Homo-oligomer: A and B are copies of this chain.
Amino acid sequence: MKHITLFVAMLPTLALIVPANAAPASVRTPTADLHIGKLRDAALNDTVAYDIVEGLTTEIGQRLAATDAEARARVWAVIKLKSLGFSNVHIEPFAMPVWVRGAETAEIVSPFPQKLVLAALGNSGATPAEGITAQIVAFDGLAALQAANPAKVRGKIVYVTHHMAATQDGSGYGFFGDVRRKSPAIAAQMGAAAIVIRSIGTDTSRAPHTGATNFGTNPAIPAAALSVVDAEQLDRILKRGKPVIMKLILTPQLSPNGQSGNVVAEVPGRDPAAGVVLIGGHLDSWDLGTGAIDDGAGVAISTAAAKYILDSGVKPRRTIRIVWFGAEEPGLFGGLAYRDKHKDEPHALASESDFGADRIWKFDTKLPIGAEAVRNRLTEALAPLGIEPGNTDARGDSDVGPLVALGVSGVDMNQDGTRYFDLHHTPEDTLDKIDPVQLRQNVSAWTAMLAITANAPENLIKTPGLN
């Protein structure tokens, strides 16, 4: 609410001052707007993005980080990006550990024998092949687990539930998502035999939501997410008041020696001193679905938009660098590798698409002083697509976040997340969940954003000390 109040208070100032003061006349002319409007509207008929996400999800399918499938996806990406006409297409490899799923079954042994559906969390430890059998000790939320007496947890299977609900901006994933990110380490520290959580999701289905957890310095105990439906079943069983005994088999494997990589392509610009506009999505996916909304859509949207700039016949001022990041899911490995390798190059802007394929409804910016007019031009160009201006504290989604944190300018194109966490990290993240009409709205908005930011006459390179 603080951000909204602030922003509304700023609106008149921006409207009165910025167009006259900061925006060079050359890009405020009807001709310039017309050019951007035409590019934007042409992109509403896009087929490039759907073609990419259809191809990637069909011909590769799941692309778990640092596995053979992700390596095949990189080869596929290089061929695709070259065929689209981009320059400087190459892979930037990096080393990382590999975690792969094994067997995973859960059953209530008593009082009501039955199987439950779950999926191991990324970085989960393993049970013996024959599994473990222990009593369930249940907690409603992370705080309840944190407050537990470790003596009551030791040797048990911890179960943590929560009450995540759908939100348009996806903010529930921050708060409720900590049940997945943090509970396993806490349970491990208390000596739990294993942990199962209610999936971090907003659906009502048997599809469990995987996702990375972080054990820190604690031992990696077996950790898994029950589907929302199975968690509710366990809730009902627990409510009967009898001790609940669960048998759990989870046999994932972790190897220290894996390789992933970022796939890079460019639309060359005219002015190297103006800095690179970095865009993209992540190429890897979890292994349960085919990674359509997470994040086949993101690489597809950002790449299709760059293709419209490439094909416009006018070389942009700035080089647009498209990166299909590797290994985002297990812990932002691709984003951190990119930052470490490229942080000393001048970057004008960084923006990533990694929140599905539903319509963009809001954009946030983080721009240097003197570049306020860029935000105004974005506002003007995106409003016809139903997109409103948001805050001026853009963080850069996932892989580009580390660069934006170093001071690089950012634009966040916020997608509607209302149904994103119905599907996120589940077997249901598949091509059919993408609405082609909303996908095209994304491409259109990204095309306008790129046309504006890649050509802005303003300086977009922040001085690190000033951020």
Closest Cβ neighbor of A430 among chain B residues: B229
With the chains together, A167 CA to B204 CA distance in Å? Answer: 23
Q: Does B427 contact A236, Cβ atoms closer than 8 Å?
A: no
With the chains together, A207 CA to B237 CA distance in Å? Answer: 24
Q: Does A204 contact B427, Cβ atoms closer than 8 Å?
A: no
Contact code string A426-459 (vs B, CB < 8 Å = 1, else 0):
0110111100000000000000000000000000
Answer whether residue A61 sits at the interface, using C-beta atoms and an 8 A cutoff: yes
Answer whether residue A58 sits at the interface, using C-beta atoms and an 8 A cutoff: yes
Which of B54, B62, B117, B204 makes the CB contact (< 8 A) with A432?
A: B204
With the chains together, A289 CA to B116 CA distance in Å? Answer: 10
Q: Does A61 contact B427, Cβ atoms closer than 8 Å?
A: no
Answer whether residue A290 sits at the interface, using C-beta atoms and an 8 A cutoff: yes
Which of B54, B61, B204, B232 makes the CB contact (< 8 A) with A114?
A: B61
Q: Does A58 contact B236, Cβ atoms closer than 8 Å?
A: yes
Closest Cβ neighbor of A239 among chain B residues: B58
Answer whether residue A140 sits at the interface, using C-beta atoms and an 8 A cutoff: no
Answer whether residue A80 sits at the interface, using C-beta atoms and an 8 A cutoff: no
Shortest beta-carbon distance from A58 to chain B in Å: 5
Answer whether residue A233 sits at the interface, using C-beta atoms and an 8 A cutoff: yes
Restricting to A187-212, which residues have a CB under 8 Å from any CB of B? 204-207
Answer whether residue A59 sits at the interface, using C-beta atoms and an 8 A cutoff: yes
Q: Does A430 contact B206, Cβ atoms closer than 8 Å?
A: yes
Answer whether residue A7 sits at the interface, using C-beta atoms and an 8 A cutoff: no
Assign chain A's interface to a size class: 20 to 34
Contact code string A45-72 (vs B, CB < 8 Å = 1, else 0):
0000000001000111110000001001
Closest Cβ neighbor of A230 among chain B residues: B430
CB-defined contacts of A61 to chain B, threshold 8 Å: 112-115, 233
Which of B58, B111, B237 makes the CB contact (< 8 A) with A112?
A: B58
Q: Does A60 contact B206, Cβ atoms closer than 8 Å?
A: no
CB-defined contacts of A60 to chain B, threshold 8 Å: 112, 114
The complex is assembled from copies of this chain, and their number is 2
Contact code string A70-111 (vs B, CB < 8 Å = 1, else 0):
001000000000000000000000000000000000000001
CB-defined contacts of A430 to chain B, threshold 8 Å: 206, 229, 233
With the chains together, A237 CA to B57 CA distance in Å? Answer: 10
Closest Cβ neighbor of A58 among chain B residues: B236
Shortest beta-carbon distance from A338 to chain B in Å: 28
Contact code string A139-170 (vs B, CB < 8 Å = 1, else 0):
00000000000000000000000000000000
Which of B69, B115, B427 makes the CB contact (< 8 A) with A117?
A: B427
With the chains together, A53 CA to B9 CA distance in Å? Answer: 55
Restricting to A403-437, which residues have a CB under 8 Å from any CB of B? 427-428, 430-433
Shortest beta-carbon distance from A109 to chain B in Å: 13
Q: Does A58 contact B233, Cβ atoms closer than 8 Å?
A: yes
Given contacts A59-B112, A60-B112, contact A206 B54 (CB under 8 A): no
CB-defined contacts of A69 to chain B, threshold 8 Å: 113-114
Which of B59, B112, B113, B207 makes the CB contact (< 8 A) with A206?
A: B207
Shortest beta-carbon distance from A336 to chain B in Å: 28
Q: Does A58 contact B206, Cβ atoms closer than 8 Å?
A: no
Closest Cβ neighbor of A237 among chain B residues: B58
CB-defined contacts of A240 to chain B, threshold 8 Å: 58-59
- Residue among A58, A60, A232, A290 with max Cβ neighbours from chain B (10 Å): A58
- Residue among A60, A61, A115, A432 with max Cβ neighbours from chain B (10 Å): A61
With the chains together, A111 CA to B72 CA distance in Å? Answer: 12
CB-defined contacts of A54 to chain B, threshold 8 Å: 236
Shortest beta-carbon distance from A407 to chain B in Å: 41
With the chains together, A229 CA to B431 CA distance in Å? Answer: 9
Q: Does B112 contact A232, Cβ atoms closer than 8 Å?
A: no
**Could you list some 7 contacts between A and B, CB below 8 A?**
A54-B236, A58-B236, A62-B114, A204-B433, A205-B207, A206-B207, A229-B432
Closest 7 CB pairs of A and B: A61-B114, A206-B427, A58-B236, A59-B112, A204-B432, A229-B430, A206-B428
Knowing that A61-B112, A69-B113, A69-B114 touch, tell me 13 more A-B residue pairs with CB under 8 angstroms.
A54-B236, A58-B240, A59-B112, A59-B237, A59-B240, A61-B233, A62-B115, A117-B427, A206-B430, A229-B432, A232-B431, A232-B432, A233-B430
